[in-house]
Amino acid sequence: MKREVGRPVYRVGDVLRVSCSPASARVADVRGSYVSVEWPWEKIDPDSRFRWNGQVAFPADPGSWEWSYTLFRTEPSPQYLNRGDSCSVSIPETLVRVVDIRRHDPPLDLGRLPRPHTRLVVLPVDASSDALQEDEAATIEIESAAPIAIELVEQA
């Protein structure tokens, strides 16, 4: 792994151990097959062309195809949450493989701050990337306000 101005540079094929310490959150909405929580980290970008509402939706069904491509988890699990409930949001320690790296100059406008310069597209190490679709992989924003810990386990 090379370093770029004190920051690690990851490569496609790298295996990473990722995690994020739990933070308290509140359930803002339960609608259909999704549970939305008030996101405890990133803030709304007042200069964005998008109007992010400060919430992130989780699939309520752990058997859904989306579940396996979401690094963040709630505790308790989304299917047990109701509007107004308190929960925690974290990334349990997970081994992932980098399948793509997306760099954005200028930083990507997603409606929240900080705007990411670099996003790692990752899959669990035991998942196949043969028929990878963009919505089937998780994305780790290097500049995220969430305290995501990333450790290089195996270099490509």
Tens of pLDDT, residues 4-13:
455 678 999 9
What is the maximal distance between C-alpha atoms in the chain? 45
pLDDT band at 128 (very low <50, low <70, confident <90, very high): low
Q: Which residue has the higher pLDDT, 64 or 152?
A: 152
Model pTM score: 0.86
Tell me: the pLDDT tens digits for 33-87?
999 999 999 999 999 999 999 999 999 988 887 876 789 999 999 999 999 999 9
Give me the pLDDT at residue 93, please. 96
> How many alpha carbons lie under 13 Å from residue 116 in its C-beta half-sphere?
18
Give me the pLDDT at residue 143, please. 87
Tokens of 28: 């803002």
- Its domain, for residue 57, covers 2-154
Give me the pLDDT at residue 43, please. 94
Q: Give the range among 91-95, 109-113, 121-125 with minimum mean pLDDT.
A: 121-125
Number of CB atoms found within 10 A of residue 116's CB: 20
- How many structural domains comprise the chain? 1
**How far is residue 13's CA from residue 102's CA, in Å, rounded to a whole number?**
14
